[in-house]
Chain A
Amino acid sequence: MEWRFTDDRPIWQQLTEQLTLRILKGEYPPGSRLPAVRELAAQAGVNPNTMQRALAQLESDGLAAGGRTAGRTVTEDAAVIEAAKKARAQEAVALCLQILEELGYSKPDALEFMKEELKHE
């Protein structure tokens, strides 16, 4: 998974999101140790202070724990991860529904449309 940044928002926020996504996808499995701040920052090509801030956010979101110096570990709390996954999925669906509504699909039509698409997968 590539690190991708847009121009309009602070980088640390985008880093938090992308780190979260990696955890939810299982790229950083529960209980595993995250790479050191410096290494992560070099991988992503960002300032270590920025990465530090993103990781701090990750900690307060409950997805990781551990001190700055010791290196952080991904949480093993399955409930937290599930909750985060659900929140992420909800965001995705809400966005999708919003776009369909803007395109003019009514709610029943939107549901039909989704069912069709899933059949073709």
Chain B
Amino acid sequence: MNDQLVTCTGLTKRYGGKTALSGLNLELGRGRIVGLLGPNGSGKTTLIKILCGLLQPTEGAVLVDGQKVGPSSKAIISYLPDRMYFADWMKATDLFDLFADFYADFDRVRAMSMCASLGVTPSDRLKSMSKGTKEKVQLVLVMARKAQLYLLDEPIAGVDPAARDFILSTILTNYNEDGTVMISTHLISDIEKVLDEAIFLKDGQITLHDTVDNIRERENKSVDALFREVFRTHDLEGGAF
């Protein structure tokens, strides 16, 4: 096991004529919940995709648990994208079989009990499920793994406030405490209580990486308030106008 779970050095990503990440340096420790905070287009999804191996950096290096991005890093990362990623004809239990096959850290018993508490019938076909239920299934798949690194890309955007609490509480009660959870979002006030550390991402660079406690003590305001100041956004519920 390596000291730091994630190390990024000089990470740059250019594509489609724009620079999404620019010389980014990041060190993530273990056993904490980290917020990757930034407005839309700041590079949050790009960073997460690079950590997952879905994008290759233009420059710079990434190490996850001391190794390069590849099958062994993918085995310890549990990723929740901002979209639905499975074939409709399957049942939830088929997906559990798939995850159990490919991921040694998948806990099927936990997945079934999470379904029960979220009100999902696992034997149903995904085709027949509502959008909200499908999202729950995806959340179950991700959180039922005892992963080292959870990467959750905007898990609460586009979700009603009641469901948000539900999702956050599901994350809190199920994640692997030896692992690290990184939640990317622009809706900070909802998740601030849950975070150990906050990372501010602006135009592809990290402008702040500190513990929430330190930020509150130093600035005498919440991270959300500081964020609004720093980014001078008027963030309405749900994001864009």
Contacts and interface: CB of A to CB of B under 8 A. Distances in A.
* A contacts B: CB pair < 8 Å: yes
A84 B193 CA distance: 27
A111 interface: no
A7 B217 contact: no
A5 B216 contact: no
Given A8-B216, A9-B216, A49-B196, A42 B222 contact: no
B172 A48 contact: yes
Nearest to A49: B196
Contacts of B222: 7-8
In which size bucket is the chain B interface? 20 to 34
Given A7-B222, A50-B196, A45 B168 contact: yes
Interface of B is mostly: helix
Interface residues of A, number: 19
Contacts of B169: 42, 45
B159 interface: no
A49 B193 contact: no
Contacts of B230: none
A5 B173 contact: no
A25 B220 CA distance: 29
Contact of A5 (B165, B172, B193): B193
Given A41-B172, A42-B172, A48 B220 contact: no
A26 interface: no
B230 to A, nearest CB: 15
Nearest to B215: A10
A2 to B, nearest CB: 13
B187 interface: no
A53 B173 CA distance: 18
B194 interface: yes
A46 B217 CA distance: 18
A12 B195 CA distance: 12
A11 B195 CA distance: 10
A90 interface: no
Contacts of B33: 47, 49
A10 B172 contact: no
A38 interface: yes
Nearest to A39: B173
Contacts of B31: 49
Interface of B: 31-33, 165, 168-169, 172-173, 177, 193-196, 212-213, 216-217, 220-222, 224-225
Interface of A: 5, 7-12, 38-39, 41-42, 44-50, 53
Q: Which 6 pairs of residues, A with B, have the shortest CB-CB distance?
A: A7-B222, A10-B213, A46-B193, A42-B172, A10-B216, A42-B173
